[in-house]
Structure formats: C-alpha cells, structure tokens
Structure 1
C-alpha cells in the first residue's frame, strides 16, 4: 500500500460511519478523522421491500459529506461497504447506481459471511482471546461466529437486527412483554436451526458492534466505572439481565436521560440487548466481553496488510504502534532500559515471586516509559501515565493497563497512590505492591543508562547478602553518571526489595 491514508465508509442498517486511518512516517497507524450519521435504513423500507426515495436522498447527502471529509484529509484510498439494509432492499441496484453517479463511490455489498469474517478480523487483532462466540448485532442483521484457537470455525448471519426488530415488535418505540416474547422466540427458533451453536458451552460471548458497545457504555455509566474505555470490558450474565430489566421498564421519555445511552439508540437498545441475552442463554456462554474493534477495523487491516492481516501477538503489535506514534523517545535508550529491566527481573525472580504476568507488565512499561516526552520532557512521567491510560493497548485487562501506566511513570509510593486514587476500585493491595516493586526496578534499569549512551554492553547481576551486585562485563566510558543515579536510588530500592543495588565500576587502571 503506497497510500498513507485509508478511508473506510460503512453503510449500516442503523447508522452510516466513516473512519480515516493514517500511516505515519514511522510506520504506525492511527485514526485521524471520522463521522457518524444515524440512518435507520432498516426501518425505512416500504411494503414492496424498497428503500424509500427520502432515505436514498438522505444517504447520498451523508456519503457526499463523508467523501468531502476524505478529500480534505487527502485520503488516497476509500473503501465503502454496505450491509443488510441495502443487501436486502428490492431496489438494491438502483441505490448502488445512484450512489455511483452522485458520489463516485463504488460500494462493496458485503454478504453476511463477509461481515462475520471482517468483524472477526477486527476483534482478533484487538483481543488476547483464543476461543469464543463473536456476536455482532447490527440494525438489520445479526452475525454469530464460533472461533477456536484464534481461527474462525463457523458463522451464520441471521436476517434480524435491533432496528428491524424494533420496527416489527415495538409500538411507538416501546417494547411490550408480548413483543419481547416475540423477539426471544424468533432468536430461539433461529438458533435451533443451527445446531452447531449449541455444542460449545462455557465460552465467552464477545460482543462487537453498536448494541454491545452501547451496553458496555451504559453499564459503566450506571456503575460509575472509573476507566473510560469500553474495549475489553467484562460483564456477567446477571449484569446484562439487570441492566436490560432497568431499560425495558423505563418509559421512552425517561430513557432519554439514562446514563451512558446515546439519544439515537433510545428505542433500539432494548431489542438489541434482548437478542444479546437470548443468545447468551442459548449458547450457555460464560460471560460477556465488549470489543470496541469490529467490522471497520477488520476492513482496515485487510486493506492495509493484505495477505498478513492477522497479528499473532496483539499486545506486541499495539506496543510497537504506540511507541512509533511517539517518536520523541530516544529509541536506543528505551531498548537498553527494556533489556536491562527484564534481565534484572529474571535475576530477582527468587526474591520477588511476583504474579506470572509481572514480566509482561514490566516489558510493556519499560517500552513506553518515555512516550510522555513527546508532550513535554520535564513532566514526561505524568504525560506517560495519561497517554498509556488513554491509548489503545490491546490484549490487556483495564487493571493491567493501569498497572503498566503506573509502573512506567513511577516516582514514589505516595505519588503512585495519589495518581491511582480515581481507579482504586480496580486495584487490590497486591497490585500496588507489584507496581511499586516493578516501578523502582524500572527506575534502576533507567539509572543504568542515565547517560543514554548504552555504555553498558553486557551486565552481570548477582545477589550477595543484602546486596544486588551489578557488574558491567563490557562497558565504554566512566559510568560515573550511572553510578551516582544507582546510589541515589539505593535506599528506595532497599525498602521495596530488601537489597542494596551496587554498581561495580570497571577498573580502568
């Protein structure tokens, strides 16, 4: 791909969305623009199955608006796709011709299987999960896929979604008990016709798409969850059931004020979650996990990385992407600190007995500890914390992202507790212990390259009595800067590790 910017336009049955991705000079990618317009195409179909003239005119206006945004961003390649509403419209070819002549866009009409494939690619590149069911409830269709060992095994596209069900079963936007029973029996019958869906109990249900994201967002707002990302947010079956009952029993005018619920989903959220929880029960799923990455992300990966669109290690990929987005950090220094930190961790393994993901936390933190310098060097630790908490680090629980941010920006125990005050309900005492120990270990690794010259070619570390002996085997220069920094850190390190670090300077005489 020579194009540095890729636009993805997704004409869904509930809304039309645009995302513009950019590839930076350092090879990282990020979203630089986007837009969303409610469309409700699935409910604007007449008795003969045709999409109304008014809906087509409105859609053309939205697409012209989005192509203008792409033009302003000098987007080299636009990929525009359409799903169930246009796929099922009796006047499909007329719609596609009108779009081509009015906007110049050639629309790819995705089948239900295509939707499931791209949705799976978007999810599997953003989550560290081996097996599960992937469920995408759109406006006009619902895709359910089974994946094992990170590979798509089987999928089905059901011809109903939150908008079409709302139109069929709700009266003036409100679902009655009778309407709810209608939706539940429709979903149950549909699943019975696909017996493979009932043969893999106890797997997580990964929800992608608007309904699942909205459910996660509302639950976070209701429970005053302190972390702002919905991606990788877990919910129990009971969480979803309580939330559903609450929404179901709230009249429309009051539902508009429901925490976390966007106004264009006020009516369709109830049929959407009704489908989710019916599937959850029938699949005998273990729990929900909300995924913020889906169809559009999958299309981006397939376009940007043709032939190698699946990333085997999602955390490693997002770490290198985030590092490349903040190139102010001196690369050789960061690599040296990362190498030394992991070596010290291994040497201290008999002492610390930290949780087995401790090394992963330290690896990530020591890769990212200087990214805050891209905002301001003098306060880079504070900015590093903010950037990590607000960036996309895939494959991690929210608690782990917080721990990495705190380790990467570690200065002292008190400052760390202060920094994590808003998030305290996500962490336990042993997490703080891990953060403090790994934070000061990272400080020691950084002290060992204080001159940022990678003067220590190879380090031998060993424990003797109450000392951590650090012997440079190959080194250049005096290491005077490094020795002083290690001395200054010694008392803090001893409090947490029970060992005094001692840098033995090479004898140059």
Structure 2
C-alpha cells in the first residue's frame, strides 16, 4: 500500500536531506531510504539578500533527484520543508514558485518557532529526559528551547548558524582569535535579549542537528569509544572544550584528516562548536547529551500520528516497534516468557539487591529475546545480541542497551564476557553481576514455557532450604517438558542465585 510510505525532505541551510519511512504490515516503522546533498545555501546569498540563481538550479536538481527516489519507493506522501536560508532570502516567494513549477513540490516554509517545535518533538520521542535545554545549530539559524516535564516551555530562533558564521568570520576555513571573539560576543548578545535563557541553570544541554551529531562522532572517534551510536551520547563541558581547542588550532588541510569528521563539515565545525560551547557556558548547563533524532523525525511523527504525535513512554514505544520489525518471534510465547520473568523477579526480590533499573532491563530483554530467530532459529541468541545492539532502543544509556542485549542472549558467564569484550570499558563488575543473574532468570522463564503452549497460568515461588519450589497455580495439561528443562538449568541457576529451582508438577491423580 503506497500510503504506508512517507517521504520527508528537509531543505536546510547547510544540506538538503531526504528520509523515506515505511510502515510495515505489522505496524512497525523504519527508514527504508534516504539521501543527503550538501547545499551551503546560507553562504550563497548576495549583498541584497537574494539566493543565487546557480544555487536555485542546483537545488531543483537535488529535489528532482529526491522525487525520483520517492517514486522508486512508491512513496504515497511527501512532505517537504525549508528552513532559514530560504526563509531569509529576499527572493523567497520566487524560489518557492520555481520549485513548485519545476518539481511539483509544495514547500512548507517553517518559521523559527516551527523548526524548534518539530526538533523538540523528534528529540522528546527518542529520549527519556524530563527537563533541559534543546539546542539545534543549523547552517543559517540556531534554535534554543527550554522544556520542563517533557513539555516545551520557551523557544527562540537566532538568525545565525555554522554556515553563515563561517562565511562571515572565517578566512579559508580558519577562524582567527578575533573571529572567535566576534562569534562569542554575538551569541552573548543574543542570549541577553532572552532573559529566560539564564534563569534555569544546571539542566542538561541536549544537542540536535548536524553540529551536535558531528561533535559526538568526532569525540567518539578520538577517544576510540566502542559503541557506534551517537544518539544519547553524553559529553562533559571539558570534553567539548578540549575537542574544540584541538579543532580550532588544527590547520585546515590537516583538519580534513581529523578522525570522525566528515569532509563537508571541515570548515563549519569550528564556528558550530563555538556557538554550542558559548551557549553551554551562558546557560550554565550541566553536561551535553547528543540526540540523533531531530527536525525530520519530528515531522515524521507529526505526519504519521496527527493529534497524538508525542509518545509518553519512549522505551515502550521503541520496544513495540523493534518487536514488530521481527515478526518471526512467536508472539504468545514471548508474552508468556516476559510475564513469567517479571513475576519471578518480584518473587525473588528478597534474594537479590539488584539496582532499580534491573526490572526495566529484564522487561526489555524478555520482550526481545527471540528477535534473532528472524535470521536463524538455531543461532538466534547470537543474532538477538547483534540486533539489539544495532537497533534504535530509545530511552536507554548505551551501557543499558548492551546489558539488555547480553541478558536477552544469555547462555553462560564465559560466553557473556567474550561477547562484551570490546565494550568492557562501558561496563562495571556490578553490571556483569546483574547481566548474569537476569540472564539465567530469563532462561528459567523460557524453560517454563518450553512447549510454547502457555500452559502455566500463574506461578507461585516458595523457598524451602536451598530449593526454589515453583508451583503452577493454574495449568493446562502436563508440564513434563518444562520440568525437564528447569532441571537442566538448575545447577547454573544455583551458582548465581544460591537456589535450586524445581517445577512442582500438578497432581492429576
């Protein structure tokens, strides 16, 4: 069905991007195609504020190319928006008319406020964060928003971005000390004009958009960070300052080889981070968090879920989505294992002093433990680990994503250590302890529905000496297969929990 595919085109001041989203037959959402073309529109404006003819011709070429990609994907709905460069162009209406007649696309011209609110929607649906400042440094504008209790409180759009500042203050991609001072003075004046900006100290600064993502990527490359996602990546103020000084002082030709820096950002990264760290200091924020979702994601949510575009529980939303992307997992069995795992966790509360988040991790792991079967049943645990690490599970720290992957695919302590070897700097000993305990607990829950018949209605756990007696309160038919599986697990379970589990068969005589 064609209307299940939505194309979002974002004509930014630095680049023009396309993302094609698909809704699968199972109701999951995923990106199936996309494209990005550097445009640098913000630096191609003449002294009278007119965007150059040549830039418009190039833009038409890009939009027609994106139109073809959407047509190949049988995209039912295309939503195309433009931001600061076209918003501020003196020939704005002529540009929009030309685009309409040459490409058939009706472009929505977003105000700075629209831009901030769609950026906020993209971020809030991807992060479990209550309060903070959201900063989006684009090519031609910078949006700063304050949110409290997951609601947007204030937002402002400033008329400068990394491309326009680079054009104004840098010479051949290099910023002088004077140029840097000028940018800092400009940002300082802008902040002074909005008194609310300095009245909420100690909140995190959430960075969305190209500059923030690039900063996170470079920092990960420089520090050889083992996890490949920049989404939800934390950085301290010092991290950003040290990185900035290094980029600022690196000559332009050498900067091209800087680890993690893409070639189309070599010149604009320095003014971009200069703005970011000046805001960090003036707003007295506590730390940075890089967000991988922004304007385009917000536009997608607003288009796909009109009227209910904000999801309150971001982890639950993405768990449902990832599960629906892998329909090979037997749904009833997975729901039963999830239910039994959480029940066992509660029953065993007196025996474990696991951290509060442990139940959240177990819930996620027991929801996803069979997704690897969509690749290969016999090796499903290995594939489950890979899929979870590389899926976008929102609302989690990187460390927690790794823990969920390890719990979901748990086989033994040694195998888990081996599996997590390349990520070991992100995990502490207590994390391994939690993984092993929850991993074997999930194995026990799976054993209790080994026949995949959901025969156990409810379970009661009773400790008797070193035994953990499991009584099915309601059950259908014999549980011989389950009893055998529980017995096979019992020695491994005892090593971790100090208890020997035994499924007490109902007496049918």
Q: TM-score range by the shorter chain?
A: over 0.9
2: CA distance between counterparts of 1:282 and 1:367? 43
1:2 Cα deviation (Å)? 8.1
Partner residue, 1:273? 273
Aligned counterparts, 1:320-339, within 5 A? 320-339=320-339
For structure 2, list consecutive stretches of 5 or more residues without a partner in the other structure: none
Partner residue, 2:235? 235
2: CA distance between counterparts of 1:498 and 1:304? 50
1: CA distance between counterparts of 2:350 and 2:225? 36
Partner residue, 1:491? 491
1:56 Cα deviation (Å)? 0.3
2: CA distance between counterparts of 1:336 and 1:350? 23
1:13 Cα deviation (Å)? 0.1
Structure 2 residue 104 is matched with structure 1 residue 97: no
2: CA distance between counterparts of 1:457 and 1:278? 59
Does structure 1 retain, via aligned residues, the 8 Å contact 2:338–2:367? yes
Superposition misfits of 4+ residues, deviation over 4 angstroms: none
Structure 2 residue 379 is matched with structure 1 residue 379: yes
Aligned counterparts, 1:77-92, within 5 A? 77-92=77-92
1:201 Cα deviation (Å)? 0.2
2: CA distance between counterparts of 1:472 and 1:200? 54
2: CA distance between counterparts of 1:463 and 1:266? 63
2: CA distance between counterparts of 1:329 and 1:13? 44
- Alignment RMSD, CA only? 0.7
Aligned counterparts, 1:272-311, within 5 A? 272-311=272-311
Partner residue, 1:116? 116
Aligned counterparts, 1:456-471, within 5 A? 456-471=456-471
1: CA distance between counterparts of 2:304 and 2:464? 52
Encode CA deviations 1:443-502: one digit per residue, 9 max, x unaligned. 000000000000111111121211111001111121111011000000000000000001
Structure 2 residue 145 is matched with structure 1 residue 145: yes
Secondary structure, aligned partner of 1:469: strand
1: CA distance between counterparts of 2:464 and 2:240? 55
Structure 2 residue 507 is matched with structure 1 residue 474: no
Encode CA deviations 1:208-260: one digit per residue, 9 max, x unaligned. 00000000000000000000000000000000000000000001110000000
Aligned counterparts, 1:330-409, within 5 A? 330-409=330-409
2: CA distance between counterparts of 1:363 and 1:461? 19
Does structure 1 retain, via aligned residues, the 8 Å contact 2:2–2:74? no
TM-score for both structures, normalised by structure 2: 1.00
2: CA distance between counterparts of 1:315 and 1:449? 26
Does structure 1 retain, via aligned residues, the 8 Å contact 2:486–2:503? yes
Tell me the number of residue pairs that the alignment of Structure 1 and Structure 2 aligns: 509
Partner residue, 1:197? 197
Aligned counterparts, 1:47-196, within 5 A? 47-196=47-196
1: CA distance between counterparts of 2:289 and 2:355? 23
Does structure 1 retain, via aligned residues, the 8 Å contact 2:17–2:37? yes
Secondary structure, aligned partner of 1:3: helix
Secondary structure, aligned partner of 2:175: coil
1: CA distance between counterparts of 2:240 and 2:195? 25
Encode CA deviations 1:290-322: one digit per residue, 9 max, x unaligned. 000000000000000000000000000000000
1: CA distance between counterparts of 2:99 and 2:210? 24
Encode CA deviations 1:247-278: one digit per residue, 9 max, x unaligned. 00001110000000000000000000000000
2: CA distance between counterparts of 1:3 and 1:213? 31
Moved more, 178-187 or 453-462: 453-462
Encode CA deviations 1:414-444: one digit per residue, 9 max, x unaligned. 0000000000000000000000000000000
For structure 1, list consecutive stretches of 5 or more residues without a partner in the other structure: none
2: CA distance between counterparts of 1:435 and 1:337? 17
Secondary structure, aligned partner of 2:80: strand
1: CA distance between counterparts of 2:236 and 2:462? 46
2: CA distance between counterparts of 1:464 and 1:25? 49
Aligned counterparts, 1:207-246, within 5 A? 207-246=207-246
1: CA distance between counterparts of 2:138 and 2:467? 61
Encode CA deviations 1:328-382: one digit per residue, 9 max, x unaligned. 0000000000000000000111111100000000000000000000000010000
2: CA distance between counterparts of 1:42 and 1:247? 22
Does structure 1 retain, via aligned residues, the 8 Å contact 2:2–2:75? no
